[in-house]
Chain A
Amino acid sequence: MRLPTAFALLPALALLWGCDKPPVARADAGRGDAEDGRTTVASLACGACHSIPGIRAADGTVGPSLAGLGNRNFIAGTLPNDPGTLAAFVRNAPSLVPGTAMPAMPLSEAQAIDVAAFLASLR
């Protein structure tokens, strides 16, 4: 069955995909550069909302601490924590979790993959 393209980014689909084949970005996601991701996280000031180990002044309390994110099974308590989903989430959280307070971030896909690699390195 051919799914409408508009559904390609929906979280439910990402979840279903997680069962038998990896999400689209996964191959790329594994190749993210964690150091570039760290730089992006620092320059975007993700720390305004999140406490992030290793980032100066990142002590926000609006969202959850990102310490040990790489060990967690779920993102935002609902999504599987794999590199592709994580990259999609940091770039456009509302498209995956409609009730979230986290806005879409001004990130390119490549930057999002790097950020996901950095976050996955937080163990």
Chain B
Amino acid sequence: MTRVRGLPAGLALALAGCTPIQSALDPAGSNAGMVFDLGVAMTIGATLVCVLVVVLAWRAVRRSRAEGAWLASPRMVIALGAVLPAVVLTALLAYGFVLDRQLAAEEDRAALTVRVTGEQWWWRVAYLAPDGSPAFETANEIRLPVGQPVRFELESADVIHSFWVPALGGKIDLIPGRTNTVTLLAEREGIYRGQCAEFCGTQHALMAFMARAETPEDFGAWFAAEGGDARQPETEEEVAGHGAFVAAGCGACHAVRGTAAAGTIGPDLTHVGSRLTIAAGTLPNHAGTLAAWVTDAQAIKPGARMPSFDELDGPTLRSIAVYLASLR
């Protein structure tokens, strides 16, 4: 749990480059590793070309007469101006093409498909059954088994978003009206952060998600439990919270499977208590932040579709938060 609570602080650190939770420079799988290698090759190549250009420019300015003639000779102009770029860019094209094919081939190995739909400003996540129908829905968090490539079908419900977990692979846009695919592979257990990488409106910066890479056993157990109905409220406060949740009409937008709440406008809350964050990576997940979000969503994420339920009294608000936190 300490790890969980440490996440948002970790996010800030990640941006400062201290924690590898969201870094393309610390790949956690071979897909991201191949992209990283390409990045390293391009950086080294670009540095060499840059140095060459600077040195030649320096010589051109400080040239002796003989050297100037050598630099300006047709042979040098053709060699450095046409042949060298052609060779370098052709090599890069070939590298990129081979890499792209390798990444695409991963898709054939993927046994699991997850459909992710970008919505302003959160991620709808549906794990698909083998026949392609949604097995269950969740939101703002994906889990994947270590060592097994997972295929993602990416769609958008409104504007263009971009799906990017830097530690696990390249980014790809979610475009309204079409389905893009990408295959991610995690080879190291861990919690990674994904972020919308295409400006999609005022709360674009607060459109993140968590990717949790787990052992295949842990993943299998989670998959089986996640598809089930919500945990029944047990304590007096949870029961009261469930009642208040229903009375406030939360079920018009949110689904809690196994209850009357079956809304599809907002994130599925069936197992919301088991997620690391709420409001798409905006806040760590516990009763306190859940209460804050319910009562003050418009201050936390202005423009989001979630209204601020500011008419609830203290104990009612608390009970809803405690109920939501109990939905593990």
Q: Which residues of A contact B (CB under 8 A)?
A: 39-40, 42-46, 48-49, 56, 60-62, 94, 98-106
Query: Which of B39-47, B141-149, B287-295 lines the interface with chain A?
Result: B287-295
Which B-chain residue is minimally distant from A99 (CB atoms)?
B314
Q: Is the CB of A61 within 8 A of B296?
A: yes
What are the residues of chain B within 8 A of A106 when measuring CB–CB?
Answer: 1, 5, 286-288
Q: Is the CB of A94 within 8 A of B295?
A: no
Q: A62-B295, A101-B317 are in contact. List 19 more A-B contacts (CB 8 A).
A: A39-B9, A43-B9, A43-B284, A44-B5, A44-B284, A45-B288, A48-B293, A49-B288, A60-B292, A61-B296, A99-B315, A101-B291, A101-B295, A102-B318, A103-B287, A103-B288, A103-B318, A103-B322, A106-B287
Q: Is the CB of A44 within 8 A of B299?
A: no
Q: Is the CB of A105 within 8 A of B299?
A: no
Instruction: Give the Cβ gap from B75 to chain A, nearest Cβ, in Å.
Output: 59
Q: Answer whether residue B300 sits at the interface, using C-beta atoms and an 8 A cutoff.
A: yes
What are the residues of chain B within 8 A of A60 when measuring CB–CB?
Answer: 292, 296, 299-300
Q: Which residues of B contact A (CB under 8 A)?
A: 1, 5-10, 12, 283-284, 286-293, 295-296, 299-300, 313-315, 317-318, 321-322
Known: A56-B12, A60-B296. A98 touches B288 (CB 8 A): no
Which A-chain residue is minimally distant from B283 (CB atoms)?
A45
Which A-chain residue is minimally distant from B1 (CB atoms)?
A106
Which B-chain residue is minimally distant from A98 (CB atoms)?
B315
Number of residue pairs spanning A and B whose beta carbons lie under 8 angstroms apart: 81
Q: Is the CB of B1 within 8 A of A45?
A: no
6 CB contacts below 8 A, A to B, read A44-B289, A48-B283, A48-B296, A49-B292, A103-B291, A105-B288
Q: Is the CB of B292 within 8 A of A104?
A: no
What are the residues of chain B within 8 A of A104 when measuring CB–CB?
Answer: 287
Instruction: Give the Cβ gap from B193 to chain A, nearest Cβ, in Å.
Output: 15
**Complex-state Cα separation, A60 to B282, whole angstroms:** 13
Q: Could you say which of A39, A99, A105 contacts B287, with CB atoms under 8 Å apart? A: A105
Q: Is the CB of A62 within 8 A of B5?
A: no
Q: Is the CB of B288 within 8 A of A61?
A: no
What are the residues of chain A within 8 A of B284 when measuring CB–CB?
Answer: 43-45
What are the residues of chain B within 8 A of A44 when measuring CB–CB?
Answer: 5, 284, 286, 288-289
